[in-house]
Amino acid sequence: MSVPISITINGKIYESEVDSRLLLVQYLRETLRLTGTHVGCDTSSCGACTIIVDGKAIKSCTMLAAQAHGATIITIEGLANNGALHPLQESFKEEHGLQCGFCTPGMIMTALQLLEDNPQPSEAEIRHGLEGNYCRCTGYHNIVKAIYHASRKMGKEVVHG
Amino acid sequence: MASVIGKSIKRVEDKRFLTGKGKYVDDMVLPDMTYAAILRSHLAHARIANVDITAAENAPGVVAVFTGADIVKAEIGGVPCGWQVDFKNGDTMKEPPHPLLVADKVRFMGDAVAVVIAESAAAAKDAVELIMVDYEELDVVVDGPDALKDGAPLIHDDVPNNICYDWELGDQDATDQAIENADHVTTLEFVNQRLIPNAIEPRSAIGHYEEASDRYTLYTTSQNPHVIRLLMSAFVLGLPEHKVRIVSPDVGGGFGSKIPHYIEEALMVWCSKQIKRPVKWTAERNESFMTDTHGRDHVSKAEMGFDSDGKITGLRVKTVANLGAYLSTFSTCVPTYLHGTLLQGLYTTPAIHIDLTAVFTNTTPVDALRGAGRPEATYLLERLMDNAAREMGVDPAELRFKNFIPPFDGVSQPGYQTQVALQYDSGNYEKVLNKALEMVDYQEFRSQQSQARTEGRLLGIGFSTYIEACGIAPSAVVGSLGARAGLFESAQVRVQPTGKVSVFVGSHSHGQGHETTFSQLVAGKLGIAMEDVDIVHGDTDSVSFGMGTYGSRSLAVGGTAIMNGLEKVLEKGAKIAAHKLEAAEEDLEYANGQWTVKGSDKSIAFGDVALTAYVPHDYPEGLEPGLDFTNFYDPTNFTFPFGAHIAIVEVDKDTGKITIDRFVACDDVGNVVNPMIVDGQLHGGIAHGIGQALFEGAIYDESGQLLNGSFMDYTMPRADDLPMFETDRTVTPCPHNPLGAKGAGEAGTIAATPAVVNAVIDALAPFGVTDIKMPLTPERVWKAMQTQIKEAAL
Ligand code: FES
Ligand code: FES
């Protein structure tokens, strides 16, 4: 069965007819070719697919495209502003918070939410906030540092999403 | 311009990953592409009586279905093993075929039985469910030692007792005698549990045959695309290698699991040829769990003898290595030449012997996993050392100092010849442990620990002083040990007419940051800007050749190939510069991107020399135009990084939960090109090593079902399981490569595991606990405490 949907993604409206069982992550990756959002598992465990839907970080492998009808979504591709990296993206680079880059989009989108909920988190709070995201490369050390530094750099500046 | 070599330059590859523009295999779509789904056996051991594909063939969107029978008909051999290990008696190891799809019987849960190709991934997955297989179930064996027992089910009908090979190294008589005559013998039985690698990017492969040009392209998540091309062309599909292109673009982590040539790679290429359209397969995570090669899985007994002074007199090891159901590409060398040869550790042990049997079982094939063999060796040695110290009432750091090989630089002093074939390049083991002890403030910790004990709190400290063999490896040496490939590396340095430099490297980056580190080498050596350098890797059509990235070899071997290529560029450039400056070559010096006539202000820039090489109007007679060199570098020895890791843990007496309070690592990886990247490698490795100590381990039930084959069931370290790591280093350059580099990719994994386990055992010393099997789950720790309490009460 196909369903009509209309979703705002990174500021642009997309109208499509989708198979009712199509996952949101597949819609992003396969239909729209926004391949920055990754798939690392089939059990909602790794967080590689994390995006922002209506201001909340969600795992896009665990939501149907049809459920996102009418939603406003930000993916990793929509984070930089006119080519200027978001402070989180900057900090991940500065602190070497990524190696293979596969978990990175999900980590950054999760961090975005984390800093919105708690703009000045402690190290322990950051670690806790990353519980839903696996990284096999970095040992998390530099990811934690990157988020910490981004939060201090951003100060009271409003986080997007 | 100050050299960029040795600086923490931010990574040049980061931008694409940070903005969602990385290009991984599964991100690719080719015109007219089809999608494959593979039917995996849900049984671990069964004869295939019948496969009915009728319903699948007729399902919507299905393009083709192939089974094992089609592979047999096409006369395709299996994926080969790249390393031959002979039996003790000289017989060749048993090498049963690993077919692309099995026709006769399945041998592990996940064995590939059929493939469905359809217009969409969803259609392929739907149709695969419609294939009906009649299985006749067979008895199963999953455990290495069980596979050796009389009457154990045979995985391969023509492999008696399931033995792939038996093997030994070292002097057995001397070792037996040393253990017999020792004043003290510490004995431990180890299960180095089976780990599942779980790179976060699942494996993926796209086969694309183009009939008009008779060309084959395979896009694959590989650490070594040229190796895949050679194996697939020459040994599996019989393709003309010059018409085969392998592309491994951005790859989301490998850790060894993306070294082997997998059946899915050859299968996608073969299927594409059958249907004349591109075919893509991407593993679901549950397929990754079942079919990515696993790691470790050793069962060992080890005995270490000491004299009355605490000097090690001998080490005797007996190991059963479980290789799984089939031989993966490098599976055979991991328990032997990457494990047995490392049993010297950092110690002067005069007699060592290992006796090892490698067996087949009904489990996923095993191959290299971060560290590969070296973690298993280090785990044995370092657990024995800490236990021996406790048994003999000696401080564990003291025991190590007493037994360390004295410092040697490999230049004025020769390398250290071990009892187990290797010759260490250079080392200063005392220094690295001393530094780690300072970092941790050892004496202070011991007093905190005694204080805590009086309050009923269980603090522990664990040591691990390790060595590993990296920079793999001299071709002649590995060839004599059974490798069926050379292990050199190649790099092509192409100076473009404008003086920009493209470097085509055979090493492959899947997180290691080669685009940055290698650019630093080029920019540093030539005195040009980092932006003027481009590093190309992962495509056999552009890179001339390469053996790929594993065994922490990229900088030591691949980096040296680049350096040698740069030397050739400068040599030829000097000839052109001399001609243009009308000076003798010997009167020139090269610095800051230009040649200058010594003692004058006459100079010519690198870019002008490059342009002259391609516009050779006014040019040295007899010199070929162009400035482009391909260099192959074959190292003369392995490199031997080493270090000291110390873990401090607290164990909750009531729950058995372990908290890592501090993790201190002092490593010596030789000279460092980019400290930030090296530290990052260490962090990731340490996390992986802690994962083995505390969380990870494949669990098979008796029927061969992988019980924890998902992220919901298999535990890996998450951010809140780990502390911030405290890292530092000493620098003992490698004497035999121009960079003095040793390698850093696996050190953390090798070192961390025993440090953590030793720390837990130290914390539980008041209970008399001497061993807990990994992973040290709270349940196991709690039980260990209860058992000892109960025993004490009796
Ligand atoms: S892909 Fe969504 S959580 Fe793993
Ligand atoms: S950077 Fe590779 S998984 Fe996180």
Cα(B217)–Cα(B389) distance, integer angstroms: 57
Summarize the confidence of residues B787-792 as an average pLDDT: 72
pLDDT of residue B531: 97
| Residue predicted with more confidence, B557 or B43 | B43
Homologous superfamily (CATH) of A87-154 is [2Fe-2S]-binding domain (1.10.150.120)
Q: Going by CA atoms, what residue is nearest to atom 4 of ligand 2?
A: A135
Quick one: which atom of ligand 1 is closest to the CA of A134?
4
Spacing of C-alpha B158 from chain mean position: 31
Side-chain half-sphere CA neighbours of B708 within 13 A: 15
Which helix (H) or strand (E) covers residue B561, if one does? helix B560-581
Total structural domains within chain B: 3
Nearest to B200 among A33, A135, A143 (CB): A135
User: How far is Cα of residue B49 from the mean position of the Cα atoms in its chain?
Assistant: 38
> Is B736 within a domain?
yes
State pLDDT tens for residues B265-282: 999 999 999 999 999 999
Say if residues B239 and B232 touch (Cβ distance below 8 Å).
Answer: yes
Helix crossing, B675-694 with B747-763: angle to 10°?
A: 40
Which atom number of ligand 1 is nearest to the Cα of residue A39? Answer: 1
Own/partner pairs for A15-18, CB < 8 Å, 24+ apart? A16/A65, A18/A65, A18/A66
Nearest to B511 among A100, A140, A141 (CB): A100
Residue A155: predicted pLDDT: 78
Q: What are phi and psi of B111, to 5 degrees?
A: -55, 140
Q: Which residues in A lie closer than 8 A to residue B250 (C-beta atoms)?
A: 100-101
Which of B605, B633, B661 terminates a domain? The answer is B633
State the best of B9, B14, B251, B663 to mutate against chain A, taking most chain A CBs within 10 Å. Answer: B14
Are B448 and B324 found together in one domain? yes
Instruction: Give the residue-averaged pLDDT of B673-695.
Output: 97
* B14, B18, B688: best to mutate for the A interface, most A CBs within 10 A: B18
For chain A, the structural domain boundaries read 2-78, 87-154
The first and second tokens of residue A2, run together, are: 């196909």
What proportion of chain B, given as a percentage, has pLDDT over 90?
Answer: 94
Is the pLDDT at A7 greater than 80, yes or no?
yes
Alpha-carbon distance A6 to nearest alpha carbon in chain B (angstroms) = 23
Residue B191, H or E segment: strand B184-195
Q: How far is the CA of A143 from the centre of ligand 2 (A)?
A: 10
Report yes or no: A50 and A106 within 8 Å, Cβ to Cβ.
Answer: yes
- The predicted-structure confidence for B117-153, as pLDDT tens digits, reads as follows 999 999 999 999 999 999 999 999 999 999 999 999 9
Cα B436 to Cα B440: distance, rounded to the nearest angstrom? 6
How much is the pLDDT for B1? 44
Question: Token digits for B39?
Answer: 């039917």
CA separation for the pair B660, B29 (Å, rounded): 45
Ligand 2 geometric centre to CA of B728 (Å)? 23
User: To probe the interface with A, which of B11, B15, B19, B27 has the most A CB atoms within 10 Å?
Assistant: B19
Q: What is the pLDDT of residues B362-410, one digit of tens each?
A: 999 999 999 999 999 999 999 999 999 999 999 999 999 999 999 999 9
The DSSP H or E segment spanning B179 is helix B172-180
Cα angle value B511/B513/B517 (rounded, 5°): 160
CA B276 to chain centre: 36
Q: What is the pLDDT of residue A92?
A: 98
- Is there a single domain that holds both residue B518 and residue B444? no
What are the tokens at B413?
């002093």
pLDDT single digits (tens) A115-139: 999 999 999 999 999 999 999 999 9
Please name the residues between 72 and 91 in chain A that touch chain B, using a CB distance below 8 Å: 75-77, 79-80, 85, 89
Q: Is residue B81 part of a domain?
A: yes
B629, B652: one domain: no
- A48 touching B, CB under 8 A? yes
**How close is the nearest chain B Cα to the Cα of A100, in Å?**
3
Report the pLDDT value the prediction gives residue B794, as an integer from 0 to 100: 58
Which atom from ligand 2 is nearest to the alpha carbon of A98? 1
Q: Number of CB pairs < 8 Å for A and B?
A: 179
pLDDT bracket for residue B670 (50, 70, 90): very high
Atom number of ligand 1 nearest to Cα A45: 3
Taking contacts as CB-CB distances below 8 angstroms, the residues of chain A near B27 are 29, 35
Q: Residue B687, class by beta-carbon neighbours within 10 Å (0-12 exposed, 13-18 middle, 19+ buried)?
A: buried
Percent of chain A at pLDDT > 70 equals 96
Report the CATH number that the domain containing residue B385 is assigned in CATH.
3.30.365.10
Contact at CB, A99 and B684, closer than 8 angstroms = yes
Contact indicator for B236, B80 with CB cutoff of 8 Å: yes
Residue at B192 is within a domain: no
Structure token digits, residue B618: 């006014």
Tens of pLDDT, residue by residue over A105-114, are: 999 999 999 9
In a domain, B120, yes or no: yes
Q: Is the pLDDT of residue A74 over 50?
A: yes
Measured over the CA atoms of residue B268, residue B270, residue B271 and residue B277, the dihedral's sign is positive
- Is there a domain that residue B143 lies in? no
Chain A residues close to B221, C-beta within 8 Å: none
Measured in angstroms, how far is the CA atom of residue A104 from the centroid of ligand 2?
A: 6
Distance CA B530, CA B539 (A): 22
Residues of chain A with Cβ-Cβ distance to B510 below 8 Å are 100
B216 is a domain residue: yes
Same domain membership, residue B542 and residue B681: no
pLDDT of B534 over the 90 cut: yes
The pLDDT of residue A81 is above 90: no
Beta strand ranges found along chain A (DSSP E) = 2-9, 12-19, 50-53, 56-59, 72-74
Query: Cα–chain-centroid distance for residue B64?
Result: 36
Mean per-residue pLDDT over chain B, rounded: 96
Q: Which residues from chain B sit within 8 angstroms of residue A138, using beta carbons?
A: 680, 683-684, 687
Residues with CB under 6 A from ligand 1: A 39-41, 44-49, 59, 61
Report the amino acid identity of residue B631: N
Residues B399 and B507 in one domain: no
Query: Ligand 1 atom closest to Cα of A41?
Result: 4
Do both B65 and B83 map to the same domain?
yes
- Give chain A positions within 8 Å (CB) of B513: 99
Contacts of A48 in chain B (CB under 8 A): 200
DSSP annotation string for A104-149? HHHHHHHHHHHHHH-SS--HHHHHHHTTT---SSSTTHHHHHHHHH
- Please list, residue by residue across A109-147, b when 16 or more beta carbons sit within 10 angstroms of its beta carbon and e when fewer do: bbbbbbbbeeeebeeebbbebbebbbbbbbbbbbbbbbb
ipTM attached to this prediction:
0.96
Residue B2 has what pLDDT? 59
* Residues B409 and B446 reside in one and the same domain: yes
**B124 & B271 share domain:** yes
**Interchain contact, A100 vs B199, CB within 8 Å:** yes
CA angle B709, B710, B713 (to 5 degrees): 90
Mark whether B318 and B281 lie in a shared domain.
Answer: no
Say yes or no: B459 and B508 in one domain: no
Are residues B285 and A105, on separate chains, in Cβ contact within 8 Å? no
* Cβ-nearest to B680 among A33, A124, A138: A138
Strands B215-220 and B244-247: parallel
Residues B278 and B308 both lie in one domain: no
Atom of ligand 1 nearest to the CA of A38: 1
Nearest residue (by CA) to ligand 1, atom 1, is A39
Residue B745 Cα, gap to closest chain A Cα (Å): 10
In this complex, do A99 and B253 lie within 8 Å of one another by their Cβ atoms?
Answer: yes
The residue of chain A nearest to residue B120, with distances taken between CA atoms, is A30
Domain that holds residue B703: 295-472+637-793
Which residues on chain A are in Cβ contact (under 8 Å) with B677? Answer: 96
A2-78 placed in CATH 3.30.70.1350 = no
Q: Using alpha carbons only, what angle is made at residue B522 by residues B519 and B528, rounded to the nearest 5 degrees?
A: 100
Confidence label for B552 from pLDDT (cuts 50, 70 and 90): confident
Atom 3 (ligand 1) nearest CA: A44
Does position B761 have pLDDT exceeding 50, yes or no?
A: yes
CB contact under 8 A, B13 and A143: no
Q: What is the mean pLDDT of residues B157-184?
A: 98
Q: Examine the pLDDT at A161 and tell me if it is beyond 80.
A: no
Of B199, B679, B719, the CB nearest to A136: B199
Q: What is the pLDDT of residue B480?
A: 86
DSSP B470-490: BS---HHHHHHTTBSS---EE
Place of tokens 């037994």: B403
What does the block give as tokens for B78?
């299996």
Residue B10 to residue A34, Cβ atoms within 8 A: no
Torsion angles phi and psi, residue B562, rounded to 5: -65, -45
Q: Which of A43, A109, A136 should we substitute to test contact with B (largest number of B Cβ atoms within 10 Å)?
A: A136
Token reading at B700: 């098979």
Measured between CA atoms, the residue of chain A closest to residue B727 is A141
Please identify, among B237, B272, B291, the residue that sits at the C-terminal boundary of a domain: B291
CA distances from B600 to B71, B584, B588, B603, B688 (A): 72, 13, 10, 8, 56
Single-letter amino acid, residue A80 = A
Question: Nearest bound ligand to CA B510?
Answer: 2
Nearest chain B CA: its distance from A20 CA (Å) = 12
Residue B336 has pLDDT above 80, yes or no: yes
Looking at residue B512, what is its pLDDT? 92
Asked whether residue B672 falls in the same domain as residue B753, the answer is yes
Q: Which residues line ligand 2 (CB under 6 A)?
A: A 98-104, 135-138; B 200, 252-253, 511
Instruction: With CB atoms and an 8 Å threshold, state whether B711 touches A35.
Output: no
Would the pLDDT of B337 be above 50?
A: yes
Distance of residue B634 Cα from the nearest chain A Cα, in angstroms:
27
Of the pLDDT bands very low, low, confident and very high (cuts 50, 70, 90), residue B28 is very high
Give a yes or no: residue B466 inside a domain: yes
Question: Does the pLDDT at position B86 exceed 80?
Answer: yes
Task: Indicate whether B160 belongs to any domain.
Answer: no
Q: Which DSSP string do the residues of B82-119 spell out, in sequence order?
A: SB--B-TTSPBPP-----SS-SSEE-STT-EEEEEEES
Smallest Cα distance from A50 to chain B, Å: 12
Among B612, B633, B654, the domain boundary falls at B633
A25 touches chain B (CB under 8 A): no
- Name the DSSP class of B543: S
pLDDT tens per residue, range B95-116? 999 999 999 999 999 999 999 9
More confident residue, B415 or B792: B415
Report pLDDT for B289.
98
CA angle A127, A131, A136 (to 5 degrees): 90
Residue of A nearest to B12 (CA): A93
Q: In A, which residues are within 8 Å of B685 by CB distance?
A: 139
